[in-house]
Amino acid sequence: MPSKQSEAVRRRWEAARLAMAGEGEAPDDESWGDLTAEPRGVDYLEAEVAGRPAMWLVPKGSRTDRVILCLHGGGFVGGSIYTHRKMFAHLAKSTGARALLVGYRLLSEGGGYPVPVDEAEAAYRWLLEQGTEPGHIAFAGDSVGGWLAITVQLRARADGLPLPAAALLMSPVSDLEVSGESYDTNSGTDPLFQRDFVRELMRGFLGAAGDPRDPLASPLHADLAGLGPLYIQVGGDETLLDDARRLDEHARKAGVDARLDVFPGMLHTFQMAAGRAPEADDAIRAMATWLRPKLGL
């Protein structure tokens, strides 16, 4: 049974659904970060990386030569380095490494496809140019940030860049056609992310001429061979469950070392309740435990 603390995630998604139906006020974007408790013992240093706002998350005593490159979710219409700083700081602290949380332009700022991929790849290239070894870098992302954690690797590979050591994906978007069966089977348990809503987000992001089956835009249609290990987490009650399952299956068929954990009763990006909900804390610890040896920690 989901913990009382984890229900805060459900309440936020329910409030967003009611606002879309004209039955209440939409929760403001910045309050999204209120789901997460302060991890404490972490310094936040704002920076500019490859022309975009970014933030270093530096836990006390962490290794400075290991970096988790973090990419926030928000459906390309919301989210920021501020909404997600605490959640990714929990991950950095548990891992014992610095994290670099990078902002990318949203749709309202002209951030349609492929702009976020361009800007996230530029941040990865910047890290490499600073002398960070690719084997000392991991990608992490939630929702569309998880999508970026895969598509940026595909772009980097096409551009001849070395690939990172590993990637952590939380409730990742992998199917831009929005065709998963779990949109039907979990429609009664997921309060917000119904098929029509997600399809509208993806169409808005891709644009009228965009192809949801483009291998550089859709991980499910891409050749994933050669990518580093992937750890995927997803909520058992969310409609994007099949995005995670199908990505895991597709990666394994390509020879990628992939792990999938389904958290019963949890919703989309439940890890945002880190420091408050035990399920989120368990998820963060599991990611850190998996990641440390991949980074040589």
CA 172 to chain centre: 6
Query: Are 99 and 123 a contacting pair, CB within 8 Å?
Result: no
DSSP reduced 3-state for 149: helix
Please give the structure tokens belonging to residue 212: 């949801």
From the list 1, 63, 7, the residue with the least C-alpha distance to 35 is: 7
Q: Annotated catalytic, 25? A: no
Determine if the peptide bond prior to 212 is cis (ω within 30°). no
1 within some domain? no
Q: Annotated catalytic, 143? A: yes
Residues in a beta bridge with 105: none
Instruction: Show pLDDT as tens, one digit a residue, over the chain (297 residues).
Output: 899 999 999 999 999 999 888 887 878 888 899 999 999 999 999 999 999 999 999 999 999 999 999 999 999 999 999 999 999 999 999 999 999 999 999 999 999 999 999 999 999 999 999 999 999 999 999 999 999 999 999 999 999 999 999 999 999 999 999 999 999 999 999 999 999 999 999 999 999 889 999 999 999 999 999 999 999 999 999 999 999 999 999 999 999 999 999 999 999 999 999 999 999 999 999 999 999 999 999
Q: How many CB atoms lie within 10 A of CB 219?
A: 27
Q: Are strands 230-235 and 137-142 parallel, antiparallel or unpaired?
A: unpaired
- Residue whose token pair is 């859709």: 218
Domain interval for residue 257: 7-294
208 within some domain? yes
How many structural domains are present in the chain? 1
Run of H or E residues at 243: helix 241-253
Catalytic residue among 143, 174, 182, 218: 143
22 within some domain? yes
Q: Annotated catalytic, 121? A: no
Run of H or E residues at 116: helix 115-129
Catalytic residue among 72, 84, 90, 268: 268
Q: How many CB atoms lie within 10 A of CB 83?
A: 21
Whole-model pTM?
Answer: 0.97
Catalytic residue among 62, 80, 119, 238: 238
CATH of the domain at 186: 3.40.50.1820
